[in-house]
Amino acid sequence: MQIAVPSETHANERRVALIPDAVKKLVRAGFDVVIESGAGVHAGFSDTEYTEAGATLSSDTDALLGGADILLRVNKPALEDIKKVKRGALHISYLDPYNEAELIDAMAAQGVSSVSMEMIPRTTRAQKMDALSSQASLAGYSMVLLAANKLGRILPMMMTPAGTLKPARVFVIGAGVAGLQAIATAKRLGAKVDAFDTRPVVAEQVQSLGAKFVNIDLGEMGQTEGGYAKELTPEQLELQRLGMKDIISQSDIVITTAQLFGRPAPRIITKDMVEAMKPGGVIVDMAVGSGGNVEGSVPDETVVVNGVSIIGVANLPSETAQDASQMYSSNLFNLVTEYWNEETKTFNLNLEDDILKECVITHDGEIVNTAIKNLRT
C-alpha cells in the first residue's frame, strides 16, 4: 500500500505531513512511501533524509496524487487536486468540513474517503492522534515570543544598579491548550500573568502555572462534551468585555485564543478596548484566520491602533515548522498505524469505531459523517 505526501501549497505554510523518522517506521510496517521532492525543506528536512529513511522521491505531483492509496497532507487540498486522486483512496488532512461544502462534495463524488484531522475526538484513546491540540500548544508558545519581540521592553523583573525594571503584564484570554501554553511561556520569561476563561473549571490549571485567574460572573456557563467552551450569548459577551476592559488597559501584552469549532470566532476585544491600552502595547489574535477576536486585526498583518500593535498570524504553528511537523507527523503515524494490519497489509476503515465515526467525512461516494450530513438538511 502506497502512502504519498505532496508539498504544501497554502501561503505561509512551512510544515510537512511526515518527517523522515515517521517514514522509516511506516516503511518498516510495510508501506511504500512517496514524498514529493522538496516537501520537507521548509521544515528543515532534506530529500536525502527522506530517501535514507526509505522513501521514494517524486517530482511529478499528478502521478503522486494518482498513485496513492493514502494521501497525507497538513492543509486541505485544492479542488482541482481531488479529480487527480484515484477512487477508493484515503485522504487525511485538515479539511475545515463545516465551511468547505464544495470540497467535501467533490471528495464524495470522486469516491475518495477522507479523514478530517480537526474532527479527531477529544478522548483518551484518540489523544495521540489529536492534531488540534499538538499544534495549538506550539501556537501558544509562538504567540508569546511574537509579542515579546514586538514589545519595547523586557518581560521579567530586573534589578540593576541603574534601578529596578518591573515585570511586564500579560493577559491571556482563553485557557485551552494554546492559552495554557501561552501562560506557561510568559511565566517562564518572567512576566506577571493574568488569565480568563469562560469555564471556571480551568481556574485550577491556570493557577498551577503561576498565573492569576480572573473571575468574571457571566451567569450559567460550562463546556461541550469535547471540552470546548460553549458559545456566549450577546449579553454574556458584553459582560465579559466590561469585566476585562480594566485588565486590558493595564496590560503590556494581551493574547486572545477564543475560537468556536466550525464557526466564526467571537469578537472579544473592541476598538475602544484597544485604545484603552498604553501606547507600545501588543495584542496577538490567535483567531485572526477565523474572523478574529480583536476588532481591527488582519490576517498575516500587524496593525497599529493608537500606538498598540495588533499581530494577526493566521498560521501560528508554521512559525515553529520543524517541531510542528514532528508533532503532526506523530499524530498521523498514530492514526494510520492504529488501523493498519501488518499481516494482511490492509487498512481497516471501520466506521463503527469510536474515533473514525467522528473524523471520517466521506466514504464510498457518500458523506458519512453525521454532523456534516446534518448541515445539509
Q: Catalytic site residue 130?
A: yes
Q: Catalytic site residue 47?
A: no
Rounded Cα distance between 12 and 117, Å, is 20
**Per annotation, catalytic residue among 2, 32, 37, 127:** 127
Closest by Cα among 194, 187, 189 to 171: 194
Q: Taking a C-beta distance cutoff of 8 angstroms, is the pair 71, 95 a contact? A: no
Task: Please provide residue 104's backbone torsions phi and psi, each rounded to the nearest 5 degrees.
Answer: -65, -40
**Per annotation, catalytic residue among 69, 122, 223, 241:** 122
Please give the span between the terminal C-alpha atoms of the chain, in angstroms, as a whole number. Answer: 37
3-state secondary structure of 325: helix
**Per annotation, catalytic residue among 130, 194, 197, 252:** 130
Q: Which residue has the cell 466550525?
A: 262
Q: Catalytic site residue 223?
A: no
Residue 137 grid coordinates:
500548544
Instruction: For 56-88, give one letter per residue: b (16+ CB within 10 A) or e.
Output: eebeebeebbebbebbbbbbbbeeebbebbeee
Q: Catalytic site residue 339?
A: no
Q: Taking a C-beta distance cutoff of 8 angstroms, is the pair 324, 135 a contact? A: yes
**Per annotation, catalytic residue among 228, 241, 249, 322:** 228
Rounded Cα distance between 193 and 168, Å, is 8
Rounded Cα distance between 256 and 274, Å, is 13
Q: Catalytic site residue 127?
A: yes
Say which residues have a Cβ less than 8 Å from residue 21's Cβ, sequence separation at least 6. Answer: 53, 326, 329
**Residues known to be catalytic:** 122, 127, 130, 133, 228
